[in-house]
Amino acid sequence: MTITLAFQLAIAGVSVGSIYALVALAIVIPFKSSGVLNFAQGEVVTFGAYAALVLTQLALPYSVVVLGVVVLGGVGGIVAERLLIRPIVQAPEFTLVMATFAIGLLIKGLISLKFGDSAASLDSPFDPEPLLAFGLRFNLTSLWILACTTFVTLSVIGFFKYTKMGKAMRAVSVNAEASRLMGIKVSSVYRWAWGISTAIGALSGLLVAPLIGINPEIGHLILRGLLAAVIGGFTSIAGAVFGGIAVGLIETFSGVLIGSTFKNLVPFLLLMLLLFFRPHGLFGAAEAKRV
């Protein structure tokens, strides 16, 4: 493998990994703040792709399409949290997991009823001709995905670090009951967490649609998002992004080195090896409990 080919594969891997990173972020945020693992995030990605398709068919400018998808995703998450999750938030963890599965199946079913099971396509707003620099080819759509992932990641980190609500989310993630006693409105924290996470999930659907097309099954991306989140450490924002990029790079290089048949297995095999040495992920830490 030449150096040029290695760099070209790295560019492709980072582009794919950026999508995985966004999905991982969308999974980690509600888990970090409310302890709920949302298995409906895959269908939120699907919803974002179809929402982008509908808004594009209305001949709206691309900037309006992006804003519309993010807003629809965020509002949908807030409504789902208020109507379907909050009434059972004190239920056992398995019940909550099954509830999110049910929400995902509901979203997928409604999409199938409306659009059918046939695939659709969404054109990229960017010139398909790649940029050539230093002997490498840079796809404009891939650069846009990377830029969006960078912006979202920095925004989320800044939100958690500098805003009042972000600090409240961090406090609730440590101890919800103590936070409530300190005057933090925990229900608002949960609402914001779900709204932000589903907005990011919907944006992921918009970004990935021009690359892989649109169909009711693209929600399988949640498997890569979960893998990225586990690798990074399930409560780490930076870890989720690092894990997503790592999975994208591993898949891309594996496809060239050992063939496309086994490339999907390699990240999971490496995850199993990693968990032997780092059970809480690369950026995670064991939770200390007083007994």
Residue recorded with tokens 């690359």: 211
State the pLDDT at residue 182.
Answer: 84
Q: b or e along 46-60 (b: 16 or more beta carbons within 10 Å of the residue's beta carbon)?
A: bbbbbbbbebbeeee
The DSSP symbol for 91 reads: S
Q: Which pLDDT tens digits describe the chain residue by residue (291 residues)?
A: 678 788 888 888 898 899 999 999 999 988 887 778 888 999 999 999 999 999 999 989 999 999 999 999 999 999 998 888 888 878 887 888 888 989 999 999 999 888 888 888 888 888 778 788 777 888 888 889 999 999 999 999 999 888 888 888 888 877 778 888 888 888 888 889 999 999 999 999 999 999 888 988 888 888 888 888 888 887 788 888 999 999 889 888 888 778 777 777 887 788 888 878 877 777 766 554 443
SS3 23: helix
The DSSP symbol for 220 reads: G
Residues in the chain, total: 291
| DSSP result, 269-282 | HHHHHHHHH-TT-S
State the pLDDT at residue 289.
Answer: 43
Give me the domains of the chain, ranges plus CATH numbers: 3-130+137-277 (1.10.3470)
Its sign, for the CA torsion 218, 16, 41, 154, is: negative
Amino acid at 247: V
265: nearest Cα among 256, 280, 254, 278: 254
